[in-house]
Amino acid sequence: MNELIRRCKEGDREAFHELFEDYGEMIQRISLRMTRKPEYLADIFQEVVARVIQGIGKFRQDAQLSTWLYRITVNVNLDLLAREKARRDTVPLEAVAESREDGEPSPLEHAEKKQLFDKARTAMADLPGQFQEVLSLYYFADRDIREIAVQTKKTESAIKSILFKGRKAIVKALRDQKVIV
Amino acid sequence: MIVCRRWKESIHLLVGGHLDESSRPALLRHMEECDKCRNFCQDLQKIEAALRAPISEKDLLSRSQIRSIVERSLPDAIRKPIPARRAIVFFPGPRIAWGFAATLLVFLSGYGFHELLKPQKISSPPIASDVPDNAHAKPEMFAQTPAKTVSRPTSQSRPAKSGVAPMSPEDIAAEGNYAIANRLLKRRNFAGAAAALQKVLAVHEAKHEKAMLDLAYCYSMLGQPQRALPIYRAVANGSRDPKAVETAYNWIDSLLEVRLNAYAAAEEERMTAVRNNPAGRWGKRGTYYLVQMPIRKEDSAKVDCLLEPFRREIPYSNQAPGMSPQIINVSSPWIGRD
């Protein structure tokens, strides 16, 4: 991996392609989970690529590449969500029609789920940094507890504890907003 | 809602899928009796489901899309250099050529004929690393480059002294042709230069990579990659000069890429036709690709990436029942199809 980073720092074009072939799926999964907007995926991915290219020179070899990429991806997605916050979110009619044809949730259920997701994500964003990181890795990056422990250099029991406290905080926030009773 | 303190952590573990099997029955029994804990568990499950909702694989970008995004984002400053025709001088410039010819005439006229029998030093053809890159453009610069001298054993095995090697009429003709080729290359007359270089290589049996590279370059510029590629391959496999090998590989990469892009575009058109006409046939039914290309290992990803979209888009409905995936054998970059 150090070799790949070294090549990227030297401006090796093919090395960048290899890097994003290896980590492209992780970036996309995090982005799709965080935004639920596949139509923005290419733009988000491009923004992540641009930030990686800009920042690779400053990347320290002792840090883990996946952690660094994860942080960039989350930041890009948060920026996008912040920009989108003011915009009124709607569900396209076509999407509703399609979902009903496929036996998917009704528009009301769809809206409820979406509201729950948005509120939960907002509550997550209000948590302290280490909670955000662990919860995002768990929910958005599909990492299991052992992988998160390795990545964050914490014990597995510490990760379980953070997940427990994080969920509790989210539940509390949703109750305060009457999203759940 | 006040949840039983004793069970709260277990409910979190249950929702996260981390509760061990031995503790599970007790918790489930408790939740049957306790509405608050049951509701709390349901809320947590809702949140869990909302946050971990599955994403559709079809929303993910394909490898070629990723590649194109990365390619677009990379600044031009680190763009892969386009292989340039590298000047590896095989013959000196025309002035020197005329000099050689004049010397030979002097020898043949009798003045120095006896000198041929004496041991002598010959000037070797300059190698690429000794020669400035623009030697082709300015032959006189090369004339100032000190020539290496090597001893050539004579039939009497006498030690070499000094002198100039005699040239055969074929060598002189080849040298003249090479000078002509260089002039034509400067004028970008690639067809003429290719003809002259063919004559040079006919004499020298393709052992001089400079002339070979020049000929391949002419073919490339004439839009005849099928003729250029074998020459580049021969240089890449046979040359001991790392610069020549690198140049040849750069050109191979470049030609392959151009060709594959053209191939990809043509395939896209074909696949569009198939998609628009579900009953239509394209080659054999149910097509898959197997890419077999005699190129360097690291290029396989590139080829794979270019063909990836077409693999995905092959309509399964067009497969004949019971038919195993058909193979298109790309046995060379010039797309031979089985």
Q: How buried is residue B62: exposed, middle or buried, by Cβ count under 10 Å (0-12/13-18/19+)?
A: middle
pLDDT given for residue B315 in this prediction: 39
Average pLDDT over residues A5-32: 87
Pairing state between β B121-123 and B326-329: unpaired
Neighbours of A139 (CB within 10 A): 23
Neighbours of A74 (CB within 10 A): 21
- Selecting from A14, A33, A49 the residue whose C-beta is nearest the C-beta of B73 gives A49
Q: Hey, what long-range contacts does B232-235 have (CB within 8 A, 24 or more apart)?
A: B234/B206, B235/B209
3-state secondary structure of A91: coil
Looking up tokens 């720092």 gives A9
Q: Where are the beta strands (DSSP E) in chain B?
A: 121-123, 149-151, 287-290, 326-329
Interface-testing mutation among B11, B18, B59, B70, with chain A (most A C-beta atoms within 10 A) = B70
d(CA B132, CA B138): 10
CB contact under 8 A, A41 and B59: yes
- Selecting from A25, A36, A139 the residue whose C-beta is nearest the C-beta of B60 gives A25
Contacts of A42 in chain B (CB under 8 A): 61, 65, 69
pLDDT given for residue B17 in this prediction: 80
pLDDT given for residue A39 in this prediction: 85
Residues in chain B: 338
pLDDT for residue A147 is more than 60: yes
Kindly report the backbone phi and psi dihedral angles of residue B151, in degrees, each rounded to the nearest multiple of 5, phi listed first. Answer: -85, 140
Neighbours of B310 (CB within 10 A): 19
**Angle formed at CA A147 by CA A146 and CA A153, multiple of 5 degrees:** 90
Residues of chain B with pLDDT under 50: 79, 81-82, 84, 86-90, 118-163, 277-297, 309-338
Query: For residue A120, which of A100, A101, A107, A135 has the smallest C-alpha distance?
Result: A135
Helix, strand, coil proportions of chain A in percent (round to 5)? Answer: 80, 0, 20
Q: Using the 8-state DSSP alphabet, how is residue B129 labeled?
A: G
Mind listing the pLDDT tens digit for each residue in A38-51?
888 888 999 999 89
3-state secondary structure of B158: coil
What Cα–Cα distance (Å) separates residue B240 from each residue in A32, B145, B204, B244? 51, 22, 17, 8
Q: What is the ipTM of this complex?
A: 0.75
**Torsion angle (degrees, nearest 10) of CA A69, A72, A75, A77:** -70
d(CA B130, CA B124): 12
d(CA B224, CA A147): 53
CB contact under 8 A, B47 and A24: no
d(CA A106, CA A99): 7
Looking up tokens 């969500």 gives A81
Please report, in angstroms and rounded to a whole number, the separation of the first and last CA atoms in chain A. Answer: 48
Burial B218-245 (b: 16+ CB within 10 A, else e): bbbbeeebeebbebbbebbeebebebbb
- Selecting from A13, A20, A32 the residue whose C-beta is nearest the C-beta of B55 gives A32
pLDDT given for residue B330 in this prediction: 35
pLDDT given for residue A48 in this prediction: 92
Asked if A49 has any chain B CB less than 8 Å from its own CB, the reply is yes
Contacts of A39 in chain B (CB under 8 A): none
pLDDT given for residue B269 in this prediction: 63
- B305: tokens are 């990436």
CB contact under 8 A, A164 and B9: yes
Paired residues of B150 in beta bridges:
B122
pLDDT given for residue B284 in this prediction: 34
Query: For residue B36, which of A171, A114, A109 has the smallest C-alpha distance?
Result: A171
3-state secondary structure of B49: helix
Contacts of B12 in chain A (CB under 8 A): 163-164, 167-168
pLDDT given for residue A45 in this prediction: 92
- A157: tokens are 């029991």
How close is the nearest chain B Cα to the Cα of A10, in Å? 9
Say what the pTM is: 0.43
d(CA B216, CA B132): 21
pLDDT for residue A104 is more than 60: no
CB contact under 8 A, B75 and A20: no
What Cα–Cα distance (Å) separates residue B303 from each residue in A33, B63, B247, B264, B315? 31, 12, 20, 10, 21
CB-side neighbour CA atoms (13 Å) of B133: 6
d(CA B102, CA B112): 13
pLDDT-derived band at A126 (thresholds 50, 70, 90) equals: confident
User: To the nearest whole number, what is the mean pLDDT of chain A?
Assistant: 80
